Amino acid sequence: MNLAHTTVLLWAWGSLQAFEIVEKENIFQRTPCPAFLMFDNAAYLADMSFELPCHCKPEEVSAVVWYYQKHLGSSHTKVLTDFDGRVLTEAAQVRVGSDMLVRFSIRMFSLLVFRAQPEDSGLYFCGTRKGDYFYAYDVDIQSSEGMVATFKDQGQEPFADDYYGSLHVFTTFWEWTPCDRCGVRGEQWRIGLCYLQSPDLSPRFRKTLPDVVSCGSQAVPRKLRAKARDHPPELLVQSCMVPCKKATMTREGVMAIFNYISKVGSRPWVPQLPIQFHQQRLGHGLIISCPGARPEHAVAWDKDQQYLYRTQYLKGINRSMRVFIDHGNHLHIRFTQLDDRAIYYCWRQGVRVAGFRLGVTSRGRYKVSFSDPETRSAVELTLLGYLLITAVFVTVHLCRCCCYLFRCCPDFSP
């Protein structure tokens, strides 16, 4: 009887999966492709990951190919697929600064781009291997380098809108993030990206609002795009206070399993959070990332019992900051000192998820790598010094040669 029940359940599960696949295929059947190729405008902040769905395709097409162009009509086109539509990339293996061909993935006809950079801005086409396009996006990746932080608790206000005749430049804010901590005072913020409104936009680009696109869109003429460069992305921050949710029974279940396995009076010790230990050499920089966090998530950092609030530790508040949090939610420690030894706790979406126990040592060999920012800075400064000395040497000898040729240089010989 049990075998019969199992067989029926497996058959029902297979039928449900087949029904789900048929429903996904019917989406493409119900969505006709436009007769004239249009571009959907989408804007993101640097280091974010995003997905571009291929909303339509002909029924006879079984695999899509994604293409990339920097500008409309460009002769240089990148192919972002293996021509079978099956390119898979794990987000955890993608590093900042990697080439775009390494930072993308195709799953269920959708294009996923991990840790997008401003140079990834451009046009993305969904089509066939023959080069027939049937859906396209206009993607604008706005840099976080010049991002301006506004703190509501200090009475600060966001930027005012800019008007240049018929051109209207403004900031469009996303929704508020959840409070980044619970049980104590926390912070929440919302990201604001640059948008503009003008009647002079290209009609080939689809807008969510009439004559409104992001500032870096291909629909914006060059003369208008130059005026919008002075309007950087914004970050609006305010304080918040929320209670912590009650813990689920998961931990109690884990402890019951340990008690059953050990069968002794003393229970094995289980840490409340996963703790990772890292040994850092004195004077070298360190960047700590929160597991599973993305730039749009609410992420907070604590040093032991000290709360590292963005009002004091956000990047750009003070140029001489040695410890700061960047706009991608990474914790930076420049020129590690002995008093940096501590446990750094990471909060994600209001829940403390991990800890990093940092040890600082002044002895031991340090493996030099060009992926280390400190090593790259040292090499750049050394090369810059050599170039400066060479320039001075060449300039002095050129001056002496000119003086010798025109007999205007004093003779210092005895």
How far is 57 from 79, CA to CA, in rounded Å? 18
Which tops the pLDDT comparison, 381 or 101? 381
Residue 120 and residue 156 in one domain: no
Range of the domain at 179: 148-242
Residue pLDDT, tens place only, 387-413: 999 999 999 988 888 887 776 555 555
Q: What is the mean pLDDT of residues 272-300?
A: 87
Number of domains in the chain: 3
Question: Can you give the CATH number for the domain in which 60 is found?
Answer: 2.60.40.10
For residue 180, is it within any domain?
yes
Q: At a CB cut-off of 8 Å and minimum separation 6, what does 220 contact?
A: 196, 198, 201, 213, 228
For residue 256, is it within any domain?
no
Give the three-class secondary structure for 149: strand
Residue 217 and residue 286 in one domain: no
User: Are 300 and 239 a contacting pair, CB within 8 Å?
Assistant: no
Residue 221 and residue 294 in one domain: no
User: Are 116 and 107 a contacting pair, CB within 8 Å?
Assistant: no
Domain boundary among 104, 124, 142: 142
Domain boundary among 98, 126, 142: 142
pLDDT value at position 19?
A: 38
How far is 171 from 228, CA to CA, in rounded Å? 11
For residue 399, is it within any domain?
no
Amino acid letter, residue 112: L
pTM score over 0.75: no
For residue 300, is it within any domain?
yes
For residue 14, is it within any domain?
no
Residues forming a β-bridge with 238: 188
For residue 11, is it within any domain?
no
Torsion of CA 396, 401, 402, 406, to 10 degrees: 140
Residue pLDDT, tens place only, 207-232: 778 889 999 999 998 888 888 888 89
- pLDDT of 18 > 70? The answer is no
Domain boundary among 242, 262, 295: 242
For residue 193, is it within any domain?
yes
How far is 226 from 222, CA to CA, in rounded Å? 6
- pLDDT of 138 > 90? The answer is yes
